[in-house]
């Protein structure tokens, strides 16, 4: 159908993002012959396998199958990822953070100098078994400890925490979310220092309203924080993430609650926001 179309009946540009389009549709080759520009862009940087103590594993998800004529990436780290996948001849443009989604959701009122926190929701064990991954970082043990450690430190410093989950816990994906993670979120909602914002709220808008950004490895929000001039880190509660992992794109990886407290203590411009509120609830230490 594309082959028999007149050129002026086609668009000048066709853009595809990394959420679904590793394999290039055949019709795009015909469109390119007719002068259309075909571009593949990354709205996320969380594409690489975690480095292991013994080195980097084989890259999963068939990125090597890409054959796009033009790539838009966030930074040189991602440009290197594309070159490692498809070769040094790839036509790559480094354009900075690429954000293709926002909403009209109202920004909630946040305490001064709130910390923007971005996690990754763990699925039920049955979901991971279906995927057949040899190693899984995003377990309820890791996700819950990530949240509880950050809450404990922020609370002790008299600050506020604005948590933006990756997606709503509603059908159909909502049913896949682990029950232990659901229980932790429900507990955190009861705390005065925490605001669980609508998942549909733009990460850009939330980061603009906060003083600091903490992300679970290796979500793209850490780079958004850096772009907006905010102190930004990845937090790994159990120290299993290699600090020199190239997937971090140069963002510091903080391991364990002791390092997290030290980082806050050293962070330029940090100050006590309001009086210490006493010991955190006992459930945060379970």
Residue 267 and residue 231 in contact, taking contact as beta carbons nearer than 8 Å: yes
Residue 225 forms part of a structural domain: yes
Q: Please tell me whether residue 235 adopts helix, strand or coil conformation.
A: strand
Residue 258 maps to a domain: yes
pLDDT tens readout for residues 173-227: 556 788 899 999 999 999 988 999 988 888 999 999 999 999 999 999 999 999 9
User: pLDDT per residue over 22-39, tens digit each?
Assistant: 999 999 999 999 999 999
- pTM of structure: 0.88
Query: In 3-state terms, what secondary structure has residue 66?
Result: coil
2 inside domain: no
For 247-256, what is the mean pLDDT? 98
Question: Which of the four pLDDT bands, split at 50, 70 and 90, describes residue 278?
Answer: very low
- Considering the domain architecture, whether residues 21 and 124 belong to the same structural domain is answered as no
Contact 226, 96 (CB under 8 A): no
In a domain, 100, yes or no: no
Q: Which residues pair with 213 in a beta bridge?
A: 116, 232
Mean pLDDT score across all residues of the chain? 88
Residue 109 domain flag = no
Number of domains in the chain: 2
Please check whether residue 145 lies inside any domain of the structure: yes
Asked whether residue 103 is assigned to any structural domain, the reply reads no
On whether both 119 and 51 belong to a single domain, the answer is no
Checking if the pLDDT of 85 tops 70, the result is: yes
Please tell me whether residues 191 and 68 are part of one structural domain: no
**pLDDT computed for residue 153 by the predictor:** 96
pLDDT at 276: 38
């Amino acid at each position: 159908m594309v082959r028999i179309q007149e050129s002026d009946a086609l668009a000048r540009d066709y853009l595809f993002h990394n959420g679904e389009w590793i394999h290039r549709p055949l019709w795009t080759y015909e469109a390119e012959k007719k002068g259309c520009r075909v571009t593949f862009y990354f709205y996320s940087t969380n594409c690489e396998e975690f480095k292991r103590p013994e080195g980097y594993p084989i890259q999963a998800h068939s990125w090597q199958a890409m054959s796009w004529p033009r790539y838009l990436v966030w930074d040189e780290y991602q440009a290197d990822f594309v070159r490692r996948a498809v070769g040094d001849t790839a036509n790559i443009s480094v354009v900075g953070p690429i954000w293709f989604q926002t909403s009209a959701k109202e920004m909630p009122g946040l305490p001064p100098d709130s910390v923007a926190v971005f996690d990754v929701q763990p699925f039920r064990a049955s979901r991971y078994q279906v995927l057949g991954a040899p190693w899984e970082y995003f377990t309820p043990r890791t996700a819950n400890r990530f949240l509880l450690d950050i809450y404990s430190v922020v609370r002790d410093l008299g600050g506020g925490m604005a948590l933006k989950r990756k997606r709503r816990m509603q059908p159909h994906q909502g049913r896949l979310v682990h029950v232990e993670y659901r229980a932790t979120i429900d507990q955190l909602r009861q705390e005065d220092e925490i605001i669980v914002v609508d998942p549909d709220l733009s990460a850009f808008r939330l980061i603009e309203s906060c003083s600091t950004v903490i992300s679970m490895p290796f979500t793209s929000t850490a780079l958004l924080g850096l772009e907006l001039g905010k102190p930004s880190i990845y937090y790994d509660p159990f120290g299993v993430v290699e600090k020199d992992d190239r997937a971090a794109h140069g963002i510091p990886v903080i391991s364990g609650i002791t390092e997290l407290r030290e980082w806050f203590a050293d962070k330029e411009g940090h100050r006590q926001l309001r009086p210490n509120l006493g010991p955190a609830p006992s459930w945060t230490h379970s």
